[in-house]
Structures are given as structure tokens and as C-alpha cells.
Amino acid sequence: WFLNMNGIAHEIINAYLDTLAAQYPDLVQLETIGNSYEGRELKVIQISTNRAASKPAIFIDAGIHAREWLAPAQALYIIKELVENVENRRLLEKVDWHILPVMNPDGYEYTHTDERFWRKTRSQQDGCFGTDGNRNFDYHWGEIGASNLSCSIVFMGPYPFSEKETSSVRDYILNRQKEIKLYLTFHTYGNALLYPWGFTSDLPYDDSELRGLAEKVNAAIVEAGGNSYEIGTSTNVLGAAAGGSDDWAKGVAGIELSYTIELPAGGSGGFNPSPTEISGHVQQTFEGVVVYGEYIANKF
């Protein structure tokens, strides 16, 4: 089923996580970090060997934007490789991995049942439905590139962290603020490796480290046969948009290495890569994730 991850139901994804936890009790733990607006479980899979040791951690989420189906597929492929492929065990020895494969399950389900290109959560707002989760984080919230109109696709929400999906991720990260050294959030599409800031064109103090690491990641993806990524701050590559999870992770949670990965386009509208495209992209991008893992293992 991994060959056709497009459109896998959220229920099946969570069932897969349950299966892994049952099959690999020494490697895998699951934590339900909250529930979505409509009540779906937000399950983080924690993957680790020698759990007792204090190790640096990597937090990964995907699917904050409902229609970006390749992103949850990418997260699932990373999970599968880290857990089921024994050749990757070395990636677990010095780093703990925390992965939330579908951050916005209500929206994700809605893109299967009702409206393929839905982006936001599904919370009832004053007027329309849904908040853009990636405008809802409390760092320079609403300053630029976001809307205060509930019908906008970049609605910032009535207040910061108004959404259960974003506040659950906030709490999970803040509870592990010391361990988490890298934050990755998967989106589509655009082939870009973006880092803070998204609210200003000013460069972060550690621009050269952030850029240098992204260049190494890109080189590994290209080496694996993937397209080359554009690298830079999200403001300078895409334009300013405040309230993103990447900016909050760095600016508030203090996770200095924070990236938004815009995966490649595919199919109609860019959000529909074919099964063969999916399997190519997820495998190539995994090689970049390996570089991130090795960097964290060596640095901390």
C-alpha cells in the first residue's frame, strides 16, 4: 500500500502506527498529543533505541495543510524506513525521532470526501470554516501575509493557537524544548528548503548554518535523483507570511534549526503526484532526512 499513499485515510495511517507499536515495542512508542476539532486523535510516533539515555531529538510534522497529500506520505515513508528497515538503526542510536504524520486530520479527511483542495482546519468560525494552521502560531501572529477574514484561505484564526491542532503541537514541543534540536515541517509544493524568518526579510543570526545544512540536505536529494531545491528564508523565497510553525519553533521554542520543506509538485494542480512519482519523491527526500539526522547526531 505504500506505493499508493495518495489519499490514504487518516484511520489507516493511525492503524499503521498502532501496528508498528505492537510489532516493535522496543523501538516505538505512541503518544496521543490531543484531538482535532472533530475529535480525531493526533498521534505522535516516538522512535528510539536506548530510550533511557538523554539524546537530542528531531520533531517532524506533516499535513498541517490538508490538500498537500505528499507531505503525510513523506512522513509515513520516514517512519517506515526508521522502524522497519534494519539498515537505518544507526540513525536511532544517537537521536530520538518524534513524528506527527497528519497534523490536520479533519482537513485531510475533508479533502478526500468533499473538497480536494481544502487547505485549512475544519473549525467553525464566524462566517466560514477553518483556520490556516500555518498562520495560527503565536510569533508575530497576523503581522503580514495572513488574513483576519474567516473565509480567507490564509485565515490566521480568531486568536493565536485557537486551533486544537496547533495548540497540541505547541504543548508537545514545549514539554520537550530541551531535547528537540531540529524541527521539520513538510508541505507541498515548490521544491524549496525554507528556514526562518517568515515575517521579515532580515536574516537570522545563524543564516550560514541554516543555509549550509540545507545545502548538504539538497546535495543528498540530488544525488539520489531528486530535483534540486531552492534554499533560503521563507520571506526571501516565497514572500512574508507570519504565524508559521517554523518561525514559532525558532523564535519562541528556541529550536534554532527549523525548516519548512516544500516537496515537489506532481499531477493536476500540483498536489496529486502519481504513485510512481510519490515513491520516487519520498525515497529521494528520505536521503535528505538522513543528512539531517546525522547532523544532529554529530552536533549534540
Among 106, 109, 165, 247, binds ligand 0X9 (CB under 6 A): 247
Which range of residues in 13-21, 110-118, 156-164, 241-249 is near ligand 0X9 by CB under 6 A? 241-249
Q: Is 65 in the site for ligand 0X9 (CB under 6 A)?
A: yes
**DSSP character string of 156-192:** --SSTT-SHHHHHHHHHHHHTTTTEEEEEEEEESS-E
Q: How far is the C-alpha of 189 from the C-alpha of 196, rounded, in Å? A: 18
Q: How far is the C-alpha of 93 from the C-alpha of 19, rounded, in Å? A: 22
Q: How far is the C-alpha of 122 from the C-alpha of 37, rounded, in Å? A: 7
Q: Would residue 262 show up in a list of annotated catalytic residues for this protein? A: yes
Closest separation between CB of residue 1 and ligand 0X9, Å?
Answer: 25
Q: Is 65 in the site for Zn ion (CB under 5 A)?
A: yes
185 residue type, one letter = T
By DSSP bridging, strand 28-35 and strand 41-47 are antiparallel
144 CB-near residues (< 8 Å, 6+ apart): 199, 240, 241, 242
Question: Count residues contacting ligand 0X9 (CB under 6 A)?
Answer: 14
Q: Is 61 in the site for ligand 0X9 (CB under 6 A)?
A: no
Q: Is 140 in the site for Zn ion (CB under 5 A)?
A: no
Which is catalytic among the residues 38, 262, 277, 287? 262
Q: Is 187 in the site for Zn ion (CB under 5 A)?
A: yes
* 219 contact, one of Zn ion, ligand 0X9, none, CB 5-8 Å limit per kind: none
* 78 contact, one of Zn ion, ligand 0X9, none, CB 5-8 Å limit per kind: none
Among 194, 217, 220, 249, binds ligand 0X9 (CB under 6 A): 194
Instruction: Find out whether the peptide bond into 118 is cis, omega within 30 degrees of 0.
Output: no
Residue owning grid cell 550560514: 208
Q: Is 252 in the site for ligand 0X9 (CB under 6 A)?
A: no
With beta carbons less than 8 A apart as the criterion, state whether 140 and 199 touch: yes
Among 246, 249, 251, 255, binds ligand 0X9 (CB under 6 A): 246
Helix (H) / strand (E) containing 97: strand 96-100
Interface mask toward ligand 0X9 for 260-289; x: CB under 6 A: x-x---------------------------
**DSSP3 helix / strand / coil % (the chain, rounded to 5):** 40, 20, 40
16 residue type, one letter = Y
- Positions in the binding site for ligand 0X9 (CB under 6 A): 65, 68, 134, 187, 194, 198, 234, 238, 241, 244, 246-247, 260, 262
